[in-house]
Amino acid sequence: TLILFDLDPDNLRYAEARIRSKTPIEPVCIARSFAAVGRELGERGLKANCVLADLGFASNQIDTPERGLSLRFEGPLDMRLDPSIPIDAEALIALSDEKELTEIIRRYGEDPLAGRIARKIIEERSREPIKTTTHLARIIRESYGSRARDSRVHPATRTFQALRIAVNDELGALEVLLDE
């Protein structure tokens, strides 16, 4: 028995179709976080012999501007892997204070300029709402100042990672899975 979990209904359908086309297996598909594996398997009277947890996001999600995960494409500041999650990155940025934003960026993005980035976000949102990926990326690049020119990686990469992890509670889901 193969049970697939994914927050993203499109990716779950894709994985199911691939497995069906390449194997004789009829997978059981569950559109939830893998954090629910214990409860879902218990309700079905199943035990796992092996668990493979695919962490993070898929390239098709970053290549879809509407998902709000990309630095390359203009898109809404979303970052939800599950579109039904009530708080997206735009709301997280709009509702968090400077201390909370700093902690999110420092903890999940390990960005040494977390405080400076959070301050710049707070300043900018006081003038106008931050609604797009490119707007946020520009704010972060400005936070880096001249350091942005020397960076091999886009300065906003770590902050985008941090916001995605926070919005989707990725580490919380992993902790629940590991406790099962």
pLDDT at 149: 67
Q: For the residues 75-102, what does the mean pLDDT come to?
A: 94
Q: What are the angstrom distances between the C-alpha of 72 and each of 65, 69, 97, 137?
A: 8, 9, 27, 9
pLDDT at 129: 97
Q: Considering only CA atoms, which of 119, 83, 80 is closest in space to residue 99?
A: 119
Cβ burial, residue 21 (10 Å; 0-12/13-18/19+): exposed
Q: For residue range 136-172, what is the model confidence (pLDDT) as tens digits?
A: 999 999 998 877 766 778 899 999 999 999 999 989 8
Q: Is the pLDDT of residue 51 over 90?
A: no
Reduced to 3 states, what is the DSSP secondary structure of residue 28?
strand
Distance between CA 125 and CA 96 in Å, rounded?
Answer: 11
Distance between CA 127 and CA 174 in Å, rounded?
Answer: 37
In single-letter form, the type of residue at position 163 comes to: L
DSSP string, 68-119: S--SSS--BS---SSTT-S--HHHHHHH--HHHHHHHHHHHH--TTHHHHHH
Percent of the chain whose pLDDT exceeds 90: 51
pTM comes to: 0.82
Q: For residue range 119-133, what is the model confidence (pLDDT) as tens digits?
A: 999 999 999 999 999
Distance between CA 110 and CA 108 in Å, rounded?
Answer: 6
Q: What's the mean per-residue pLDDT of the chain?
A: 89
pLDDT at 116: 96
Burial 89-127 (b: 16+ CB within 10 A, else e): bbebbeebeeeebbbbbbebbebebbbbbbebbeebbee
